[in-house]
Each structure stands twice: as C-alpha cells, then as structure tokens.
Amino acid sequence: MDEERRSSDRVVAAAILLTGFGAAHLIDDFLYDIPAELGLSNAAGQVLTVLYFVITSILLVLAARGSKVGYLGNVGLGIFLIAADIAKHASEGLFAGAWRSGLLSRILAWGVILSAGGLAVVSYQAYRRQRMADCRKGV
C-alpha cells in the first residue's frame, strides 16, 4: 500500500473515531439541556446536529478519496471542535469536580477533544504529503 493511501486511511480512521465520540457526546449534551443553555430549541439543536454530521460525512468521503480539500476541512473541523469543547466545557467543570453523569460524560468530552486533535494532526500530515506528491509530479 502506498504512503498516500495510508495517509488517507489514517484520516478516515480518525474521522470515524471522532464520529463515535461526537455522536455519544451530542446525546449527552441533549440529555443535559445544552441546546437550551445556548439559547437553542431542541429542534434547532437537532437541525445543527444534522448539518454537523452531513459536513463531517462529506469531509470523510473527500479524505477517503485523497482530496486536499477533505484534508484541510478535517484540519479545520478538528481545531474548531477542540476550541469549542474546551471553551464550553471548561467552565462546567470538565477538568475538575463533579461533572454531569460522572466519568462517562467526562470520557466522552475528552474523547471528542483528543480525537479531534488526532484528526487535525493526521489530516494536516496527509495534506502535506499530498501537496509534496503533487509538487513532485509538477501539478
């Protein structure tokens, strides 16, 4: 298997891991009325959830095809999710004290943060590898 394919596979694996943590964490957010805290109705939160999963699915498909746009989109998504989760949950006690349903809620939040970071890193590496390959080919 060539290096470009392995890079794409790493991005896909990281995106799938993030999807798992993201889905469970979003359910946890809805159980603890986070949409209402943000001034959203449940319906608005559900629409945003659909948009989130559509966007992440498109980025996953693009990355699976070796698209630089997919890689860069996943870098942006990873950075955004790290910043958003830390900004939202740091004030809620994610880092210390009792939090939501305890250890599982904390694992889900950290899972999103860490898998988003992993996605950003492997996506950036795949983008750089693809860009260097294109330069060697004269594209």
Which single residue is written with the structure tokens 């590898």?
A: 129
Residue 126 is which amino acid?
Answer: A
At 139 the pLDDT is 64
Say how many CA atoms lie within 13 Å of 87 toward its Cβ: 7
How far is 137 from 43, CA to CA, in rounded Å?
Answer: 49
Nearest Cα to 108, choosing from 12, 17, 38? Answer: 17
Residues 77-117: tens digit of each pLDDT: 999 999 999 988 877 666 676 677 788 888 999 999 999 99
pTM of the model: 0.89
d(Cα 33, Cα 25) in Å, to the nearest integer? 12
How far apart are the C-alpha atoms of 101 and 65, rounded to whole Å? 39
Mean pLDDT of all residues in 8-33: 94
- CB proximity list for 51: less than 8 A, separation 6 or greater: none
Contacts by 46-52, CB closer than 8 A, 24 or more apart = 52/22, 52/26
Tell how far CA 113 is from the center of its chain: 8
- The pLDDT of residue 1 is above 60: no
Label residue 2 by pLDDT band (50, 70, 90).
confident
Question: What does the domain layout of the chain look like in residue ranges?
Answer: 3-137
pLDDT, tens digit, 9 for 90 and up, residues 44-56: 999 999 999 999 9
pLDDT score for 88: 84
Of residues 57 and 105, which shows the higher confidence score?
Answer: 57
